[in-house]
Amino acid sequence: MPGDIRIGIDVGSRTTKIVILDGEEISEVHLFDTAFDPLAPVLEKLDSRPKGKIVATGYGRRLLADRLGAAIVTEIKACAAGIHRLYPACRLAVDIGGQDAKVIRVTETGGFEDFELNERCAAGTGRFLEVMARALGYDLDEFCRAAMTADRAVRVNSMCTVFAESEVVALIAGGEARNRIALGIYQSIVERVHPMIARLDQPGDLVFCGGVARSKCLASLLRSKMKRDIHVPANPQILSALGAALLA
């Protein structure tokens, strides 16, 4: 009911997301870079607001649990809950964030029954895209737009962020068109996450979320690869924070 405040905080590796629910309605959304001190900006944002139950998720969840008395859930549980609220028919979520890529089988009740998480390296994640965009001299929006204008992709073979950067530099030096390299990089991400998706795919809607889902290019390539429709929420970064708030 209105006046019942629930707060979800997702301290991600790159961005911190806060969603405040007043009853069942989203009353506030905050997104800001995760700083070296992840706690201070969160405290600042919450300071002047009505107190409510807090659930924290993401890399910094334990820190918030200790300092704010927040309950904690994993990003996987939070993401499933957030997705279920917006897409009740969703049975598979692909969440690509700053440093991880996860694929989650969402249940009919908004829980999860199975998941995949990329291993210890950042290939195929937001951080990988940032490094590649910089190597090509683009900002992230330009990077995405440029890739979508390419007539064909230049294959980028390296999965390792460091080696891929060297490969991109070599391709530029070899005279390859930047937009074709950009498309090649997006395709390499699709190749990287597709096996994780294929392992868990099942009937039902597929939702693509996380910061990387802001890239229209990647969503479009993923649709072609999966040969099915993929939903992308208007604000794909906040789903885990929303889920955390719903679980509060």
User: Which residues of this chain interact with another protein, rule CB under 8 A?
Assistant: 59, 73-77, 100, 107, 109, 111-115, 117, 119-120
Measuring CA to CA, which residue among 99, 100, 107 is closest to residue 77? Answer: 107
Shortest separation between residue 122's beta carbon and another protein, angstroms: 11
Closest approach, Cβ 230 to another protein, in A, equals 23
CA 197 from centre of chain = 15
CA 50 to chain centre: 28
Measure the CA dihedral 53/58/60/61, to 10°. 40
Closest approach of another protein to the CB of residue 120, in Å: 4
Smallest separation, CB 135 to another protein (Å) = 25
Of the two residues 27 and 74, which places its CB atom closer to another protein in the complex?
74
In angstroms, rounded to a whole number, what is the distance separating the alpha carbons of residues 185 and 188? 5
CA–CA separation, 91 and 117 (whole Å):
17
Closest contact distance (angstroms) between CB of 218 and another protein is 22
Q: How far apart are the first and last CA of the chain?
A: 14
Q: Which is nearer to another protein, 161 or 187 (CB)?
A: 161
Nearer to another protein, 23 or 111 (CB): 111
Q: How far is CA 146 from CA 138, 157, 182, 197, in A?
A: 9, 20, 7, 26
Kindly tell me which of 25 and 119 has the beta carbon lying closer to another protein: 119
CB-nearer residue toward another protein: 107 or 157: 107
